[in-house]
Amino acid sequence: MGVRSDFWEIYRESLPVLLVALSGGLFAGLVLEGLGESVAEYPGLLVMVPVFLATRGNVYGALGGRIASGLHQGLIDPRFRRDERLFNAVLASFVNGIGISILIGVITWTALAILPGWTPASLVVLVAIMFVAGTLTAVVMIVGLLALIFAGFRLGYDPDNLVGPIVTTLGDIFGMLFLLFSVWLVGVIL
Amino acid sequence: MFPLLVVLSVLVLWAGLRLEEAEEMLTEFALLAVMVPTMVDMGGNLGAMLSSRLSTRFHLGTTSLDPRDRVLWANVTAILALAATIFTALAVGTFLLGQVIGAAIGLGELLVIALVSGMSVAIIAVGFSFATTYVSYRLGIDPDDTTIPIVTNVVDVFGMVIFLSTAAVVLDV
């Protein structure tokens, strides 16, 4: 095979996936733009956005990878039912997803409190925003990721090729939506 | 898993600090915010794709990072071509959304911002993918486990920082 045909094969295989990720990214961008006014109200909120989005990929990408390997090896059935292996993988990513969200709030607040020239919003506010957004995202990401991987697997798609784009797209869209919701909720309650 | 997550979060925090610093620019040019999530993710996506292809070839023993290896070149040029396509689409998509929400930056400026920062990030992603896959292979670590999240996050940080600097230069803020 020549370089040219290899090139086109990789390009054609990957482009649809990246275009889906791009639409998710643009939608998330619109939500971020809508977050505009709260940004001035809660200093530190913008700092948390890239970290929050990046950890979605880390936590649920790992879950997706585990589920994909399990399906390939026949250790996990492609349906929702009580299964210890599935339950453990889900529980681990749920705990990781919420734990890291809370930690992002703490780390951001600490960094801004230490660094000269920054005054963060209160620790409680930042942590509460991250906790609510992180928990809601965890539920939707886990259910959505499993449902899409299972459906794709039953239709004959390689789950390894599905995990990356599903995680990025769902993570961007729901991560930002729930962040917006959580900022509103915290504004109302605190 | 959790310790790695913490380290990566601290790393990406830097991107967030730069984003908050750029708050004024984002308020003045609200449309830039629309590009932010894609700029954060896309470099990492490209890096992850290349890394997993490279690590598969390492596992199979079909590559030794020889510059005469033609499939390597096909991979690298494909990644760069994908980057060019996606970042052009990002500029056009952002421009169209700008028409809808009524926050306009010229298409030309958006194209320059998206392509200059996007292609720089793509080149960094390629370099990082090669370096980390090679190092982890030499150290006997499975690249699938640890290096891909590291590549993704490091490249994400570069994406954010390069994007904000390019936008500041192009829009003359």
Q: What is the ipTM of this complex?
A: 0.86
d(CA B90, CA B114): 7
* Facing residue for B9 by CB, picked from A21, A32, A55: A55
CA distance A48 to chain B (A): 6
Phi/psi for B68 (5° steps) reads -85, -5
pLDDT at A97: 92
Does pLDDT of B68 surpass 90?
no
- Tell me the pTM: 0.85
pLDDT at B65: 64
Q: What is the 3-state secondary structure (H, E, C) of A86-118?
A: HHHHHHHHHHHHHHHHHHHHHHHHHHHHHCCCC
What tens digit of pLDDT does each residue of A30-85 get?
A: 999 888 778 888 889 999 998 898 888 888 888 888 888 888 888 888 888 778 88
* Facing residue for B12 by CB, picked from A10, A25, A51: A51
d(CA A67, CA A85): 9
CATH 3.30.930.10 fits B2-170, yes or no: no
Residues 6+ apart with CB under 8 A from A52: A101, A104, A130, A133, A134, A175, A179
Residue A9, SS3 per DSSP: helix
Q: Which residues of A touch B70 (CB under 8 A)?
A: 2-3, 6
Least confident of A148-157, B59-68, B93-102: B59-68
B125 in Cβ contact with B133 (< 8 Å): no
Is A182 part of the contact surface with chain B (CB cutoff 8 Å)?
no
pLDDT at A134: 95
